[in-house]
Each structure stands twice: as structure tokens, then as C-alpha cells.
Amino acid sequence: MRRVVPDAEPVRAPVGSIFIGPQGRSAHRLARRAHQAGISLLGLLVLGTFITFGAMLTLRLYPTVSEYLMVKRAVVKARSDGTNPQAIRSAFDRAAAIDDISSITGKDLDIVPSPAGGYSVSFAYEKRIPLFGPVSLLLDYRGDAGSAPRDVR
């Protein structure tokens, strides 16, 4: 049986030898493990997969979100330029031709008269983005331009 003496000087092993401590582990292993830090190869592969998937998703989503913002801007401009539903639709079609909007046309706009005067213009469409193999992402885009304020005189 080994006796532990408190406040005793630790026993030093000569260089190159292995000292077995009280827990039965070598000092070499404990020292080496204490200095290890970082990520394992498997962790690196998993992290790289997530980053790649996120980047791929972002690159695929950006054009559709950009097109949605252009549609919204064109609807607001068409509502303010048009005085009747036909004029609003044709103003939107002109803006769509300039901005290269292909997801929606002037016929797809919902134009209803608002009680305060003017027209309320709204739209809705779906966009399917193929990701890989049989997997795709379906986005529902909706928006409206509200009603244009009328000049009361």
C-alpha cells in the first residue's frame, strides 16, 4: 500500500522515462492531451458540408428574392401610374419587360377598387427551385401595393 504524504515534493522522472502517476496514467499522455485543441477530421467534414449546403442554398435563392423585390417595386409604380385596371396592367407589363420579370404578368395582378378611391393591387405566385436530384424548394411569394391615396379637392 502506498502512502501519500501531503505537501511533499512531487517525484520527477528522468527525461525519456514514463512515470506512472496515482491514477495509473502516464504523464506523457496527460501532457500531450492537455495541449491538443481544435476540430477532428470528421467534424471538419460535417462543418464543410453544412457550409457548402448553406452557400448553395443562398446562391439559388438570391435570384428569386431579387425578382420578388423587382415585382413589388413594379407593382407599386404601376399602381401609381395607372388610373384604371387596364392602365395598371399595361404599366406593370412595361416595367416587367424592362426589369426582365418572367414569373408574373399584368394579367396575374389582382386589382380591386378601394373604398377610399383608387385601386388596391396585389399579387401572388410560386417559384420552384431545384436543389439536387428529386429535392426542390417551393417558395410562395405574395405582396400588395395597397391603394393609392386620392387627392381630395
Those residues with Cβ within 8 angstroms of residue 47's Cβ, 6 or more apart along the chain or in another chain: 39
Which secondary structure element, helix H or strand E, spans residue 43, and what is its range? helix 41-81
C-alpha cell at 21: 502517476
- Long-range pairs, 19-24, Cβ under 8 A, ≥24: none
Domain map (residue ranges) of the chain: 60-147
Distance (Å, rounded) from C-alpha 126 to C-alpha 102? Answer: 12
The pLDDT score that the predictor gives to residue 77 is: 92
pTM over 0.85: no
The pLDDT score that the predictor gives to residue 26 is: 59
Q: What is the pLDDT of residues 109-120, one digit of tens each?
A: 999 988 887 889
The pLDDT score that the predictor gives to residue 81 is: 87
- What is the dihedral angle through the alpha carbons of 100, 64, 127, 50, rounded to the nearest 10 degrees? 150
Low-confidence ranges of the chain (pLDDT < 50): 151-153
